[in-house]
Amino acid sequence: MSGKSPMFAAALLAMLAAVPALAADRATNAPALGASSAKESEETCLQNNRLWGWQLVNPRTLSITDRTQKRFMVRLAGGCVGLTNSIQAIELRGLSDLACVRRGDFVRFVEPTLGRMSCAITSIERVQEKGAPARDQIN
């Protein structure tokens, strides 16, 4: 057995231990939707399959435009290594292609020297046409 196997096993175990915590956090932070907040949620919904364009604002923030030209600021967890504007494509991964992207979902990409990489999403915010953030926010 090589020296890398115990480290890999420990890292895998740590990731598996974090999954239930993310699921519990998602369940406790999900707001109850009333008639007015359902419309607001629809306005802030960025669906995985509607990504049109993106630009890296800083190492922890992406500006994403969907197919209907709505802009979103997507904040990423620290440790997002290799994500630059020179990356050819990103992929938003969540519950399904029709679900709104939210906290705990992932941005995935291929970095030429590092290979497949992913970054956890910490928040998503709709950006109004004039560049001011929307008052409603998905966390």
More confident residue, 35 or 76: 76
In a domain, 34, yes or no: no
Choose between 24 and 117: higher pLDDT: 117
Return d(Cα 73, Cα 118) in angstroms, integer: 17
Separation CA 12–CA 7 (nearest Å) = 9
Give the tokens for residue 51: 């990504």
Domain membership of residue 11 (yes or no) is: no
Domain contains 23? no
In a domain, 115, yes or no: yes
Distance CA 18, CA 106 (A): 14
Contacts of 13 (CB under 8 A, 6+ apart): none
Q: State pLDDT tens for residues 1-23.
A: 455 555 555 554 445 444 444 44
Residue 43 confidence (pLDDT): 63
What percentage of the chain reaches a pLDDT higher than 90?
A: 44
Q: How far is CA 65 from CA 37, 49, 98, 111, 113, in A?
A: 22, 12, 16, 21, 27
Tens digit of pLDDT for each residue in 34-48? 444 444 455 678 988
Give kind and range of the element (H or E) at residue 71. Answer: strand 71-76
Side chain identity, residue 64: I
Q: How many CA atoms lie within 13 A of 27 on its CB side?
A: 6
Does residue 9 fall inside a structural domain?
no
DSSP 8-state assignment for residue 100? B
User: In a 3-state reduction of DSSP, which class is residue 15?
Assistant: helix
**Would residue 20 count as lying in a domain?**
no
Q: What pLDDT sits at residue 73?
A: 95
**DSSP designation for 125:** E
Residue 97 domain flag: yes
pTM of the model: 0.62
Q: What is the pLDDT of residue 17?
A: 47
Domain housing 112:
46-133
Q: What is the number of structural domains in the chain? A: 1
Averaging pLDDT over each range in 23-27, 58-62, 127-131, which range is the top one? 58-62
Q: Which two tokens stand for residue 123?
A: 């928040």
The answer to the question of residue 104 being in a domain is yes
